[in-house]
Amino acid sequence: MRGLLPFLAQRLFRALIALWLVSTVVFIVMRLSGDPVPLLLPPDAPISEMERVRRELGLDRPLPVQYAVFLGNTLRLDFGRSLHFREPAFTVVRGYILATLELGLTAFVLAAAVAVPIGLLSAMKRNSVLDHAAMALALIGQSAPTFFLGILFILLLALKADLFPTSGRGGWQHLVLPALTLGAFTMASIARLTRSAVLEVLRADYIRTARAKGLGEAVVVAKHTLRNAAIPILTITALQFGTLLGGAVVTETVFAWPGIGRLAVQSIYNRDYPVVQCTVFLAAVMFIVINFAVDLLYGVLDPRARAG
Amino acid sequence: MQVTRRELLKGAAALGVAGALPHALPGVAQAQTTQKRELVVGQGGDVSTFDPHISTSSNDIRISFNIFDNLVSRHPDGKLYPGLATEWKLQGQTTWAFKIRQRVKWHNGDPFTAADAKWSLERTYDPAHKTRVNTVFTSIDRIEAPDPLTLLIHTKKPDPLLPARLAFYGGQIVSRKYFEAAGADGFRSKPVGTGPVSFVSWTKDDKLVMEANASYWGGKPDFDRMIVRPVPEMASRIAALLKGEVDIITQVTPDHNDRINANPTTRAVGALYAGLYVLAVNSKVPPLNNPLVKQALSLGIDRDLIVKELWRARGIVPSGPIAKGDNHFDASLPPLAYNPKEARERLKKSGYRGEEIFIETTSGYTANDKPMSEAIQAMWRDVGINAKVEVLEYSVRAEKNRQKTFKGLWWSDPTSTLGDPDGMMWRLLGPGGPQDYWRHARWDELGDAARFSVDEKFRGEAYKEMTKIVLEHFPWIPVIQPYEDYGMQKHVDWTPNPNQAFEIRRFNFKFRRA
């Protein structure tokens, strides 16, 4: 069996390559997409003014030079100054990361905490009313557009039932609706996947053996079923977590949540290169860290994974 | 029990209907007075900076016109009133003398003087400060502050509109001493002004907190704190209003007025926009270089229908290139006519042979831009115009705007920055202006003369003739002058300003107290 250390080193190396590729792609795409200067100035600004601003922002230098400067600075976590906010891009993005983590984590925990037991129960009580109801709900959760779901929650739970605030960030009450909205898809996916993974395992020979040995159902489920079904569940769950962190634009917009998804989209519209680069870089870091953690968990759950 | 798909859908539909009912709201019996000491405003986007000379966007000026004061203040009635200057008069042809208000203090306690005003105005066009309002005061030659209460502004030529220029963006007065002590970054993140509210804290895209200025020269506003929340999604903004989480919301689209008015505790208010929505025309490209074709385009638009159907009557049909409410608006002119028969005649006379005419529109950059483009395309088709609608992304529009590369027509929502045609049609359509796609010697001559004349009668005649020329050549095809709508709680007494400034000074804002 291989040790954990080479396995770690290899994964770390891969992560770094991924980061470099991501930042390079963002750099190129942002440069290809057009000129930020007209968006920074009033529409009647003269050409000389445009040129002055372009010089000031270093956009008049050759692309390779801009790229070299960009890479060097990225290593020092210096993404330049936001063209829109006029302060360091990292400072800007840092302000949003916390809100994103808060919402993403809540949505994730909510989704996992609800979905895994539901999926498990559905599988155990296959074809029961509970199973059908749960899977129908999951279907809705997966197919309802986030935008619709968000507005529906606002109308029903905030306005009509008066249970939660309509939007904004504040106490835990502010978290519930956006987390439900954001987590709906994930919850549904995890529930469906858990169900099918558990069903698969339940058909396995070793479960029949365990039952034949006379083991109680609780032990069969906890020790034999769950542990073996954990790998696919973990995989999809982790991937979903990355999506929750980076792909919350619609939820953030509907609930006026100050997260990085909205920041990224606004910054793209504003052609705010530094903020886009910084946001994507940090989102990539989070994604890669999660994948890294999942890889490690694989190693813990299933020693065979360490060889791969 | 087996849950069928149909049953589920039925259930979902019932939920949706119940949710959409405005009457099914909590707290409908709330009184229409309040003891609130906090004003909460929900606006469509967040502030980008607090340096008033760095931005002209409406989300920014709503705030900066309240943290800062101008020398001259334009009230919601469209007239100019004293601000940090108590009076002003023209001395000779080119010197404006301003008397500065006494005993005004900055939010940090420093006294405000004429020297601050001089420095602040000079800063707008000082290249070292890299401001975004450096073209506002191009008529100024030099400024003197001979004593703390006197400011003399010398203009290069007679400038009748200088007080009006001072009342809009660029004219917010900032503190020299504080700016130099705090530096550009410090100032931008923690501004100090003389206005009715002072800055407390800002969490981007979340909330801005300001505090009432207890020693404000115009009286402490009717609240202790003011909170501004960016709520970009219209439906969420409305929900926040209906639930009573916010007192005022901005940027309400016409289709939501009914919903706000149907709720017992809220109402919608609007101000006729100080400006117009026009289809600007690239008159250099054929067939748009032919005035007859452009006349046909204008005659082929059923503006009444657009106002009624797309704007729910929240707008009026313009009569020309001068917005209603502006200086020299000619009330005797009829609204622009819809006459498809005449349009066909003029097309025939023009020799138009079905060339493609492009409308380049964004989707939502200006309200209703895309639906209006599609409606107009259909109306034009009926009179024989081969119009084509192309949808642009916002930043592409900005780029085309700068490079002046629009292919045919595009939407523009010119704001009348000075309450005068000089700050609207001349600013945009004049030689070298941002929409310089059309030149007419006589029109140019009149515009230039009117800009530098202090004789209002002469100016009136000039703008009358310029209007006539525009209505023959149509460098702009005016379509609608819409209302800028807001939603607010009935416990709020407030009048919106047509130029998008958000006036919460004591003379314009109060809570209804029991």
List, as one string, the DSSP characters of A192-221.
Answer: HHHHHHHHHHHTSHHHHHHHHTT--HHHII
Q: For residue B11, give every residue at least 6 positions away whose Cβ sits within 8 Å of its Cβ, in sequence order, or none.
A: none
Q: What is the pLDDT of residue B20?
A: 41
Does the CB of B274 have a partner CB in chain A at under 8 Å? no
What is the C-alpha to C-alpha distance for residues B60 and A257, in angstroms, rounded to an integer?
20
The residues in A 244-263 lying below 8 A from B, measured between CB atoms, are 253-256, 258, 262-263
Nearest CA in chain A to B424: A44
The pLDDT, as a whole number, for residue B79 is 93
pLDDT for res A29:
80
Chain A contact for B49, CB < 8 A? yes
Nearest Cα to Cα of residue B403 among B426, B431, B427, B436: B436
Say which of A44, A159, A258 has its CB closest to residue B203: A258
Q: Burial letters for B7-34: b for 16+ Cβ neighbours within 10 Å, e otherwise?
A: eeeeeeeeeeeebeebeebeeeeeeeeb
Question: For residue B399, what pLDDT is reported?
Answer: 77
Question: A152 and B16: CB-CB below 8 Å?
Answer: yes
Name residues whose C-beta falls within 8 Å of residue B93's C-beta, 6 or more positions apart in sequence: B158, B454
- Residues B87, B139 contacting (CB under 8 angstroms): no
CA atoms within 13 Å, Cβ hemisphere of A255: 35
Q: Which residues contact B130 (CB under 8 A, 6 or more apart)?
A: A52, A53, A56
User: Does A145 reach chain B within 8 Å, measured CB to CB?
Assistant: no
Query: Rounded to whole angstroms, how far apart are CA atoms B22 and B172?
Result: 41
Q: How far apart are CA A225 and CA A35, in angstroms?
A: 56
Written as tens digits, the pLDDT of chain B (514 aa) is 333 333 333 444 434 433 444 444 444 445 588 999 999 999 988 888 899 998 888 889 999 999 999 999 999 999 999 999 999 999 999 999 999 999 999 999 999 999 999 999 999 999 888 787 888 898 999 999 999 999 999 999 999 999 999 999 999 999 999 999 999 888 988 999 999 999 999 998 999 999 999 999 999 999 999 999 999 889 999 999 999 999 999 999 898 999 999 999 999 999 999 999 999 999 999 999 999 999 999 999 999 999 999 999 999 999 999 999 999 999 999 999 999 999 999 999 999 999 999 999 988 888 899 999 999 999 999 999 999 999 998 778 877 887 788 999 999 999 999 999 999 999 999 998 889 999 999 999 999 999 999 899 999 999 999 999 999 999 999 999 999 999 999 999 999 999 888 999 999 999 998 8
Residues listed for chain B: 514
Question: What's the confidence (pLDDT) of residue A42?
Answer: 61
Helices (H), B285-424: 291-299, 303-305, 340-350, 369-383, 394-403
- Contacts of residue B323, defined as CB under 8 A and 6 or more positions apart, other chains included, come to B273, B274, B275, B276, B329, B416, B424, B481
CB atoms within 10 A of CB A184: 24
The greatest distance separating any two alpha carbons of chain B, rounded to the nearest whole angstrom, comes to 91
The model's pTM is 0.83
Q: Treating both helix axes as pointing N-terminal to C-terminal, what angle do A273-301 and A63-75 enclose, rounded to 10 degrees?
A: 50
For residue A2, what pLDDT is reported? 56
Q: Which residues, at least 6 apart from B473, have a Cβ–Cβ distance to it below 8 Å? A: B283, B291, B294, B438, B440, B443
Count the Cβ atoms, other than its own, within 10 Å of residue B39: 24
Q: In angstroms, rounded to a whole number, what is the distance separating the alpha carbons of residues A76 and A53?
A: 25
Using only C-alpha atoms, chain A has a radius of gyration, in whole angstroms, of 24
Closest partner residue to A256 (CB to CB) among B27, B133, B232 is B232
User: For strand B140-147 and strand B80-82, is the pairing parallel, antiparallel, or unpaired?
Assistant: unpaired
pLDDT at B21: 40
Instruction: Determine the Cα–Cα distance for residues B154 and B366; give it in Å rounded to an integer.
Output: 38
End-to-end Cα distance, chain A: 11
- Using a CB–CB cutoff of 8 Å, tell me whether B397 touches chain A: no
State whether residue B25 is helix, strand or coil.
coil
Contacts of B235 in chain A (CB under 8 A): 151, 154, 254
CB contact under 8 A, B56 and A42: yes
Say whether residue A154 is in contact with chain B using an 8 A CB cutoff: yes
Separation CA A70–CA A62 (nearest Å): 12
The secondary structure of residue B477, as a DSSP letter, is: E
Reported as a pLDDT band with limits 50, 70 and 90, residue A307 is low
Closest partner residue to A169 among B24, B206, B243, by Cβ? B206
CA distance B450 to B463: 8
Which pLDDT score, from 0 to 100, does residue B466 have? 97
Q: Which two tokens stand for residue B461?
A: 């005649």
Q: How many cross-chain Cβ pairs, A to B, lie less than 8 Å apart?
A: 142
Give the model's confidence band at A305: pLDDT under 50 very low, under 70 low, under 90 confident, else very high: low
Q: Is the ipTM of this complex over 0.85?
A: no
- DSSP-derived letter for residue A88 is B
Confidence at residue A283, expressed as pLDDT on a 0 to 100 scale: 84
Q: How many CB atoms lie within 10 A of CB A239?
A: 16
pLDDT band at A282 (very low <50, low <70, confident <90, very high): confident
With contact defined as beta carbons under 8 Å apart, do B249 and B231 qualify? yes
**Rounded to whole angstroms, how far apart are CA atoms B96 and B154?**
6
What confidence category does residue A41 fall into, taking pLDDT thresholds of 50, 70 and 90?
A: low
CA A267 to chain centre: 19
In whole angstroms, give the CA distance from residue B102 to residue B3.
76
Dist. CA A45–CA B113, nearest whole Å: 31
R_g of chain B, CA atoms, integer Å: 25
| Euclidean distance between CA atoms B387 and B381, whole angstroms | 7
Structure tokens at A129: 């009313």
Identify whether the C-beta of residue B248 lies closer than 8 Å to the C-beta of residue B491: no
Q: Is the pLDDT of residue A127 over 50?
A: yes
Structure confidence at residue B7 (pLDDT): 39
- For residue B508, the distance in angstroms to the closest alpha carbon of chain A comes to 28
What's residue A306's pLDDT? 63
CA of A162: which chain B residue's CA is closest? B26
Q: Cα(B161)–Cα(B165) distance, rounded to whole angstroms?
A: 6
pLDDT value of residue B29: 42
- Among A30, A32, A37, A44, the residue to mutate for chain B (most B Cβ within 10 A): A44
Q: Are the beta carbons of A253 and B232 separated by less than 8 Å? A: yes
Best-predicted range by mean pLDDT (A115-124, A257-266, B22-31, B375-384): B375-384
Q: What does the pLDDT average to over A216-225?
A: 80
Residue A303 CA to residue B254 CA, distance in Å, equals 63
